[in-house]
């Protein structure tokens, strides 16, 4: 990685009252879009035209909608495409192939998304809530508390904006498409279940009703909200489920991830396994490696045993060096300790890949940018 740490200026726009975001075209189903267009006095087929501009051409700019009469497009865009996100700050690392954007929402709430370009894929990490109410001990977002849930359109807009950026060749390597989306930015996605599922539906719906992405390339993460995980298993959309476990024993996990006092390690793993059985999709176990906290070899052994108790071949482990939050005691494990942890998991037959820490120089841990701005 290249670049130097960037600190934000602390000026922030005036914050209005927190509230419900205005309804947007993307919040609507294809049928509702037709109703909305006709309510504005336009012909039903205009809905399809607008959907094509938005989902196929990734545009919400009336200037590009030249197949609609000017007055029509201005009226429809004004009525159905309220501005939901404003890019307040953009930071890059990795020679420009990692782009982090701090967005201001209509009411002054802040969220982040991170676009990462790799050799064979492009991945966008998106936020589903402004802040988060689950208070994980090591997480910058968790220290902020929950501001509010994002609407479907506020989440999809992060994806459209990244797709546009890639199509316009703004990320080094030439114009390309967005291939992967991970719900690993700010917030607990399953605590905003309805909007997140509606977002997934928009992402996988074939163009022009949606973005036409593959469900397999969409990862929904959770710290283990068991009832919602069980519900997700019944949706019939085979997204990848990532369970952020971070500890294999209840004692430590309840300290790190307070929601564990509600649903234990065993319950979370059982639910993840049920997801595999229902969907055939291998589940990812995320494990932030924290020095001297959760990185002991015995914990790797315990994790391997717990996963194998449910069966073989159903899970993949992703240890990830913790992105330290400035000023906190939490920091990443030593590389040798991490290697030993990985070796132990592999010895138990668990496929294990250390995830990279792209963007750590730009306050890559989710929530850090927004948290700093609030200081
Ligand atoms: S780790 Fe995830 S669930 Fe926990 S506080 Fe942070 S954003 Fe919320």
| Closest C-alpha to ligand 1, atom 5 | 142
The whole-model pTM stands at: 0.92
Rounded to the nearest angstrom, the distance between the alpha carbon of 187 and the centre of ligand 1 is 6
- State which ligand 1 atom lies nearest to the alpha carbon of 132: 8
Please give the pLDDT value at position 17.
45
Angle between helix 70-80 and 30-39 (nearest 10): 120
The rounded distance, in Å, linking the Cα atoms of 357 and 192 is: 26
Q: Which of 31, 154, 366, 373 is catalytic?
A: 366
Q: Which of 128, 145, 187, 261 has most ligand 1 atoms within 8 Å of CB, for mutation?
A: 187
Question: From the CB of residue 304, how many other CB atoms can be counted at a distance below 10 Å?
Answer: 20
208 preceded by a cis bond (ω within 30 of 0): yes
Are 24 and 153 in contact by the 8 Å Cβ rule? The answer is yes
Per-residue pLDDT of the chain (375 residues; tens, 9 = 90+): 333 222 222 233 333 346 799 999 999 999 999 999 999 999 999 999 999 999 999 999 999 999 999 999 999 999 999 999 999 999 999 999 999 999 999 999 999 999 999 999 999 999 999 999 999 998 888 888 999 999 999 999 999 999 999 999 999 999 999 999 999 999 999 999 999 999 999 999 999 999 999 999 999 999 999 999 999 999 999 999 999 999 999 999 999 999 999 999 999 999 999 999 999 999 999 999 999 999 999 999 999 999 999 999 999 999 998 877 777 788 899 999 999 999 999 999 999 999 877 755 555 455 555 555 554
Please determine, looking at this structure, whether the domain spanning 25-80 carries the CATH number 3.90.1150.10. Answer: no
Residues with Cβ within 8 Å of 178's Cβ and at least 6 positions away in sequence, in order, are 115, 122, 124, 159, 162, 163, 166, 213
Kindly provide the b/e burial profile for residues 257-285, where b requires at least 16 CB atoms within 10 angstroms of the residue's own CB: bebbeebbbeebbbbbbbbbeebebebbb
Q: What is the CA radius of gyration of the chain?
A: 21
* Angle, alpha carbons 8-149-232 (nearest 5°): 120
Atom of ligand 1 nearest to the CA of 139: 6
pLDDT given for residue 280 in this prediction:
96
Per-domain residue ranges of the chain: 25-80, 101-374
pLDDT on residue 202: 98
> Which residues, judged by CB distance below 6 Å to any ligand atom, belong to the binding site of ligand 1?
132, 134-136, 139, 141-142, 186-188, 223
The alpha carbon of 341 and the centre of ligand 1 are apart by a number of angstroms equal to 23
The pick from 148, 190, 223 for probing ligand 1's pocket by mutation, whose C-beta has the most ligand atoms within 8 angstroms, reads 223
Q: Which pLDDT belongs to residue 369?
A: 53
Measured distance CA(320)–CA(288) in Å, rounded: 5
Give residue 363's pLDDT.
Answer: 53
Q: How far is the CA of 137 from the centre of ligand 1 (A)?
A: 9
C-beta of residue 139 within 8 angstroms of C-beta of residue 70: no
Domain at 101-374, CATH class? alpha beta
Alpha carbon distance 317, 347 (integer Å): 13
Ligand 1, atom 7: nearest CA belongs to which residue?
A: 187
C-beta of residue 192 within 8 angstroms of C-beta of residue 129: yes
**112 is a catalytic site residue:** yes
Mutate to test the pocket of ligand 1, among 130, 141, 268, 366 (most ligand atoms within 8 A of CB): 141
Q: Give the pLDDT of residue 13.
A: 32
HEC states along the chain? CCCCCCCCCCCCCCCCCCCCCCCCHHHCCHHHHHHHHHHCCCCCHHHHHHHHHHHHCCCCCHHHCCCCCHHHHHHHHHHHCCCCEEEEEEEEEHHHCEEEEEEEECCCCEEEEEEEECCCCEEEECCCEEECCCCCCCCHHHHHCEEEECCHHHHHHHHHHHHHHHHCCCCCCCCCCCCEEEECCCCCHHHHHHHHHHHHHHHHCCCCCCCCCCHHHEEEEECCCHHHHHHHHCCCCCCEEEEECCCCCHHHHHHHCHHHHCCCHHHHHHHHHHHHHHHCCCEEEEEEEECCCCCCHHHHHHHHHHHHHCCCCCEEEEEEECCCCCCCCCCECCHHHHHHHHHHHHHCCCCECCCCCCCHHHCCCCCHHHHHHCC
Atom of ligand 1 nearest to the CA of 223: 3
Give the separation between CA 236 and CA 13, rounded to whole angstroms.
42
Q: Which residues pair with 146 in a beta bridge?
A: 131
> What is the CA(279)–ligand 1 centre distance, in A?
25
Q: How far is CA 86 from the centre of its chain?
A: 18
**Which residues, at least 6 apart from 105, have a Cβ–Cβ distance to it below 8 Å?**
21, 84, 85, 111, 130, 150, 154
Question: For ligand 1, atom 4, which residue shows the shortest CA distance?
Answer: 136
């Amino acid at each position: 990685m290249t670049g130097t740490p960037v600190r934000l200026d602390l000026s922030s726009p005036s914050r209005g009252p927190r509230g419900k975001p205005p309804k947007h075209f993307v919040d609507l189903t294809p049928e509702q879009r037709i109703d909305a267009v006709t309510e504005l006095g336009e012909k039903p087929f205009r809905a399809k035209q607008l959907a094509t501009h938005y989902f196929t051409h990734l545009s919400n700019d009336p200037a590009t909608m030249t197949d609609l009469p000017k007055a029509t497009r201005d009226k429809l865009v004004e009525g159905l495409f309220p501005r939901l996100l404003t890019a307040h700050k953009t930071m890059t690392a990795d020679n420009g192939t990692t782009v982090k954007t701090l967005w201001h929402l209509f009411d002054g709430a802040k969220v982040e998304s991170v676009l990462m370009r790799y050799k064979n894929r492009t991945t966008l990490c998106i936020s589903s809530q402004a802040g988060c109410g689950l208070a994980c001990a090591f997480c910058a977002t968790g220290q902020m508390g929950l501001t509010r849930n994002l609407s479907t359109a506020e989440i999809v807009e992060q994806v459209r904006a990244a797709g546009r950026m890639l199509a316009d060749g703004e990320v080094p390597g030439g114009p390309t498409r967005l291939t992967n989306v991970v719900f690993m930015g700010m917030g607990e996605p399953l605590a905003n279940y309805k909007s997140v599922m509606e977002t997934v539906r928009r992402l996988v719906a074939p163009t022009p009703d949606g973005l036409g992405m593959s469900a397999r390339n969409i990862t929904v993460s959770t710290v283990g909200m068991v009832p919602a995980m069980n519900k997700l298993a019944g949706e019939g959309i085979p997204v990848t489920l990532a369970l952020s476990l971070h500890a294999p024993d209840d004692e430590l996990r309840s300290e790190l991830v307070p929601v564990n006092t509600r649903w234990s390690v065993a319950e979370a793993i059982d639910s993840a396994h049920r997801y595999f059985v229902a969907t055939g999709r291998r589940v990812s176990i995320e494990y932030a490696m924290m020095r001297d906290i959760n990185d002991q070899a015995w914990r790797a052994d315990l994790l391997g045993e717990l996963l194998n108790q449910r069966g073989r071949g159903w899970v993949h482990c992703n240890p990830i060096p913790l992105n330290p939050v400035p000023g906190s005691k939490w920091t990443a494990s030593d590389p040798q300790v991490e290697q030993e942890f990985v070796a132990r998991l592999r010895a138990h037959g668990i496929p294990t890949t250390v995830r990279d820490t792209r963007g750590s120089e730009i306050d890559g841990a989710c929530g850090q940018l927004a948290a700093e701005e609030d200081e």
